[in-house]
Amino acid sequence: MTAISLGPSPSRRDTLTRRIRLLVAATITYNVIEAVVAISAGTLASSTALVGFGLDSIIEVSSAAAVAWQFSAREHAVRP
């Protein structure tokens, strides 16, 4: 009996992992810039809403960092 693979092939998995890493890096970069600009502008304008928007960007960076961490490790376990 032959095993049926339900996931992508190893080369396709590598391609998708590379794309995910690039997307996560772009997301983190954009959101860090967005946070700095929004918090700075909000502080200068005394705008609570703008500072809050900047703080929300920091939360988005944290979320993207978790995804980056998940995809940064090489797979050591053998999948059945």
pLDDT digits (tens, 9 = 90+) for 6-55: 888 888 888 988 999 999 999 999 999 999 999 999 999 999 999 999 99
Q: What share of the chain is helix, strand, coil (3-state, %, to 5)?
A: 75, 0, 25
Question: Quick check: is 54 in a domain?
Answer: yes
Please tell me the total count of domains within the chain: 1
Cβ-contact 68, 21 below 8 angstroms: yes
DSSP letter at 4?
A: P
Question: Is 80 inside any structural domain?
Answer: no
Domain containing residue 26: 11-72
Q: Does 34 reside within a domain?
A: yes
Residue 52 within any structural domain of the chain: yes
Predicted TM-score (pTM) of the model is 0.77
In a domain, 79, yes or no: no
Q: Are 24 and 60 in contact (CB under 8 A)?
A: no
φ, ψ (nearest 5 deg) of residue 41? -65, -40
